[in-house]
Amino acid sequence: MFDSGVGGLTVLHECLVSLPEEDFVYLGDTAMFPYGTRDPDLLRERIRRIAELLLGDGAKLLVIACNTATSIGEGVAREVAAERGVDVVPVVEPQAEIAAAITDSGRVGVLATRNTVESGAYRRSLEQQGRSLEVTEVEAPDLAPFIQDGSPFDEGVLEMARAYCAPLKRAEVDTLILGCTHYPLVAPMLQRILGRDVRLVSGGHAVAAAAQRTLESRGLARLPDGEGAYRFLCTGDVDSFRDLGTRFLQMPLGEVERIEVHGADYS
């Protein structure tokens, strides 16, 4: 499983709960955070290298726990995985399926990074759900970096969230896709701004369910006979990853190994 930073730990948390017997390796590419503003071509090459690294370590399933990485680089990750006969579970499609299923009015919002919105990945996935949906997408370029920094919530971030939610309120969405794995940490704030009747769809539950279905359909699921192991890799500062990651995972991280992703660096 990989993400641009610690946001994907919200996805890992749900996978650890839903698939406690499985072993997980999580790679946080914190040296290159944020993905949401990176050049898409360079980002795709970065994702290719990360997929090669994780699958070369013997992974039986690759989870892209990052909305931007899914939107921009799902194709290259699937290419690498296909060479090894491994399935890929992205974050966009499972969320779109849930959102389309639970919306009453058909008005669905997407709050995401610039790269995710510009890719059109959510709009395409929602269009494939067999329902007539009115989709409102909003770029929130400053929200994930703020959360990643671990800064305290104050009036400034509340005003930022209100500005991002304004177009969603005008569109009267009844379902909002949290199109970045960092956003669940501000879900209570978003819920208060949008109102309690707006359903929020995060990536964690959707991806965990998709991962479970995939492993079971391929006959790769472990028997429920104990707890598996989990370990962490990051490309940036280990101490900051551990400190902030504990907040996202809501479980102890333990040792974090710093690694290099060669051949795909940004200047």
pLDDT by position in tens, the chain (length 267): 999 989 899 999 999 999 999 999 999 999 998 898 889 999 999 999 999 999 998 999 999 999 999 999 999 999 999 999 999 999 999 999 999 999 999 999 999 989 999 999 999 999 999 999 999 999 998 888 888 776 667 788 889 999 999 999 999 999 999 999 888 888 999 999 999 999 999 988 889 999 999 999 999 999 888 899 999 999 999 999 998 898 888 888 888 999 999 765 554
Residues 8 and 41 in one domain: yes
CA distance 232 to 257: 6
What are the structure tokens assigned to 263, written together? 């051949």
CATH number at residue 164: 3.40.50.1860
In a domain, 54, yes or no: yes
Q: Could you confirm whether 15 is annotated as catalytic?
A: no
Residues 30 and 62 in one domain: yes
Residues 152 and 123 in one domain: yes
Residues 105 and 194 in one domain: yes
Residues 209 and 163 in one domain: no
In a domain, 19, yes or no: yes
Q: Where are the alpha helices (DSSP H) in the chain?
A: 9-18, 40-56, 67-83, 92-102, 114-119, 121-127, 143-149, 155-170, 187-194, 203-217, 238-249
Residues 128 and 48 in one domain: no
Q: Which of 184, 203, 222 is the C-terminal boundary of a domain?
A: 203
Residues 241 and 249: beta-carbon distance below 8 Å? no
Please give the pLDDT value at position 267.
Answer: 44
In a domain, 244, yes or no: yes
Question: How many distinct structural domains can be found in the chain?
Answer: 2
In a domain, 266, yes or no: no
Residues 171 and 221 in one domain: no
In a domain, 139, yes or no: yes
Give the pTM.
0.87
Residues 2 and 64: beta-carbon distance below 8 Å? yes
Which of 15, 66, 165, 234 is an active site residue?
66
Which of 15, 165, 180, 234 is an active site residue?
180
What are the distances in angstroms from CA 38 to CA 69, 138, 166?
10, 18, 26
Q: Could you confirm whether 180 is annotated as catalytic?
A: yes
Residues 113 and 7: beta-carbon distance below 8 Å? no
Domain assignment of residue 112, given as a range: 92-203
Residues 214 and 83 in one domain: yes
Residues 223 and 182 in one domain: no
Q: Which of 185, 203, 221 is the C-terminal boundary of a domain?
A: 203
Residues 84 and 214 in one domain: yes
In a domain, 84, yes or no: yes
In a domain, 267, yes or no: no
Find, among 98, 24, 35, 90, the residue nearest to 60 by Cα: 24
Residues 214 and 197 in one domain: no
Residues 199 and 112 in one domain: yes
In a domain, 265, yes or no: no
